[in-house]
Structure 1
Amino acid sequence: MMNETDVKGIYVPVVAPFTGNEELDLDSYRNYIGKLLAHDIQGLVINGTTGEAPTVMWEEVSELVQTTQACMQQKRIPIVIGTGTNSTVSTVKRTEMAGLLGADAVLVVTPYYSRPSQEGILEHYRRVAQVGVPIIAYEVPSRTGVRLTTDTIRKIMDLNGVIGLKDSSGGIELISELTRHDTKPILCGEDLYFHAMLSQGASGGMLASANVIPEALIHVFRLASNGNFIQAKQAFDLLVPLIRGLFQESNPSPIKWILARHGIISSDTLRLPMGPISNQLQLELGQIMPKSGY
């Protein structure tokens, strides 16, 4: 299982490839995972936002995890499984099942939709931590409808079993506050803020764009890790147009379109209510990608 020292580098939140009739396409998935493993990524995240978690059944999550493990005969890296829901009972159960599947850690998003109190959210994480599987807490207020206070996040990160935070809070204010004092590792979850968050002390990133440009993001991370922040920014600035394009429409639609266009997965099919990207974005990405070296 993971510990705090593993919460660093580039983690790739993987897509769930589907056939044209919306069934899991495990052949495409094997090809896709094999290509990701060819890069020096730190780990993979299954059943996150990029993996269309709301429309993927747990039995399918199990298939994806087992297939991923089978692809790692030559190279073993951590597997993080998204288990967070807006029910504590359900999140605890999923975390237990993730542990049985061999998860190295779980990604637990702040409970969404019901907009619970700060105290309720803290107790939620406390209960999940009792399962014993290492937790990366996930703050993403744009999707959950509730923003954690810095004090609440500190209390969550102080829990035994919480090994780090994925910060998708929408800026650098949170990480700036947290890193004023000793803190557990923080991964950037906002792709466009990757360089800025590295400069504020982030230990790496859990970035959807790493599906498309893993090597370029690894390069930025290495430069920053060696203290070369000016060079890191220059390298990152070259990636910004493509990253903006990847999030111009709902994730993971643009990423799936690019992966399918390059033959890495067989189809850009998504499950409703998610749908394919617009023709206009297809044209724009087609123009941006060559300029970004992809």
Structure 2
Amino acid sequence: MLTEQQLHGIYLPVVTPFLPGGELDLESFHKLSSSLVAQGIHGLVVNGTTGESPTVNAEELSLLSAAAKSAIGAAEVPLVLGTGTNDTRASVKKTELAGKLGADAVLAVVPYYNKPSQRGIIEHFRKIAEVGLPVIVYEIPGRTGVKMEVDTVREIMEMENIAGLKDCSGSCDLLRELRAYGPSKPVLCGDDASLLEALEVGAAGGMLVSAHVRAAEFLNIYRNFRAGRFDEAYAEFEPLLPLIRLMFEEPNPAPVKWLLSEAGQIAHGTLRLPMVEIGQELRGRLLQAGVLPGDALAL
């Protein structure tokens, strides 16, 4: 199972490739996951937001988990399965399934749509943590409609089996507030463009969509930062910012799926409704940015 010491570096929230009819494309998933593991990512996250988790059922999660474990092989790369929903009982059942599937940890989002109180959020994570697997709490108010208060996060982080936090709150304010109270469990930055700022404040790493297409660069940036080579880290990070911004011009994971399909890393850029493929205007801008084969799409 995942330890707090393993929750560092660059974790990759991998896409879930689909065939044109909407069925799982396990061949593409295995190929992509194997490539990312071979490049040295620190953790593989399956069935997160980028994996279109609201549309993936339990049987499909089992198939994806098996394919991911095969791709990881003997590599010491933790497998994290997304199990969070807006129904606590369903989240607990998915977390129990993740344990049976051999996951090292789960990623559980703050309940969306329901707009629970802070106490409701705390009790939601308490129930998930009671399953016994390490839990990475996922804060992303832009998608959930609810923002956790710092005292809420602190109480959750003190629970047994809570391994850490993925922070997609849109700024580093939460991380700063947590650090002001002293040592805490690891926090991974989930806002790609804020990676270096988050590392400066004390983040343990990042869970980054953009690392699909620039894994080697992100890994090197992280290593340089940790080694104290800050100028080198910033010099490498700056050229990635235009790509990062384009990756979120339309809802994730549509842009990254289009890029991966164009690069031949997955067979199709198919998404499941209500997600749809990116428009021609963004495709043109991505082409102009030079991030496809012929201009060093690093995969």
TM-score by length of 1: 0.97
Aligned to 2:172: 172
User: Structure 1 residue 74: deviation in Å?
Assistant: 4.1
Aligned to 1:241: 242
Aligned to 1:9: 9
Distance 1:81 1:60 in 2: 12
What is the Cα-based RMSD across aligned positions, in Å? 1.2
Aligned to 1:128: 128
Aligned to 1:34: 34
Distance 2:290 2:178 in 1: 35
Q: Is the 8 A contact 1:92 1:127 kept in 2?
A: yes
Taking only the aligned residue pairs, the percentage that are identical comes to: 47
Asked if residue 96 in structure 1 is aligned to residue 93 in structure 2, the reply is no
The ranges of structure 1 where at least 4 consecutive aligned residues each deviate by more than 4 angstroms after the TM superposition are 290-293
Aligned pairs for 1:1-294 (under 5 A) are 1-180=1-180, 181-290=182-291, 293-294=296-297
Distance 2:10 2:150 in 1: 24
Distance 1:290 1:125 in 2: 39
Structure 2 gap ranges (5+): none
Cα deviation 1:113-135 (Å, max 9, x = unaligned): 11111011111111111110000
Residue 240 of structure 1 aligns to which amino acid in structure 2? L
SS at match of 1:93: helix
User: Structure 1 residue 218: deviation in Å?
Assistant: 0.6
Distance 2:77 2:230 in 1: 27
**Greater shift after overlay, 70-79 or 201-210?**
70-79
Distance 1:169 1:117 in 2: 17
Residue 163 of structure 1 aligns to which amino acid in structure 2? A
**Greater shift after overlay, 219-228 or 44-53?**
219-228
Cα deviation 1:20-53 (Å, max 9, x = unaligned): 1111111111211121122110110011010001
User: Structure 1 residue 290: deviation in Å?
Assistant: 4.3
Distance 2:214 2:58 in 1: 29
Residue 13 of structure 1 aligns to which amino acid in structure 2? P
SS at match of 1:239: helix
Distance 1:71 1:176 in 2: 36
Distance 1:99 1:25 in 2: 24
Q: Is the 8 A contact 1:108 1:138 kept in 2?
A: yes
Distance 2:172 2:76 in 1: 32
Distance 2:177 2:73 in 1: 41
Cα deviation 1:255-291 (Å, max 9, x = unaligned): 1111111111100010111111111111111121349
Distance 2:31 2:83 in 1: 25
Q: Is the 8 A contact 1:242 1:289 kept in 2?
A: no
Aligned in 2, Cα 1:290/1:89: closer, same or farther, shift over 3 Å?
A: closer
SS at match of 1:16: coil
Distance 1:282 1:151 in 2: 42
SS at match of 1:156: helix
Distance 1:197 1:153 in 2: 17
Distance 1:67 1:44 in 2: 12
User: Structure 1 residue 73: deviation in Å?
Assistant: 2.7
TM-score by length of 2: 0.96
SS at match of 1:179: helix
Distance 2:282 2:157 in 1: 39
Structure 1 gap ranges (5+): none
Q: Is the 8 A contact 1:107 1:136 kept in 2?
A: yes
Aligned residues: 294
User: Structure 1 residue 112: deviation in Å?
Assistant: 0.9
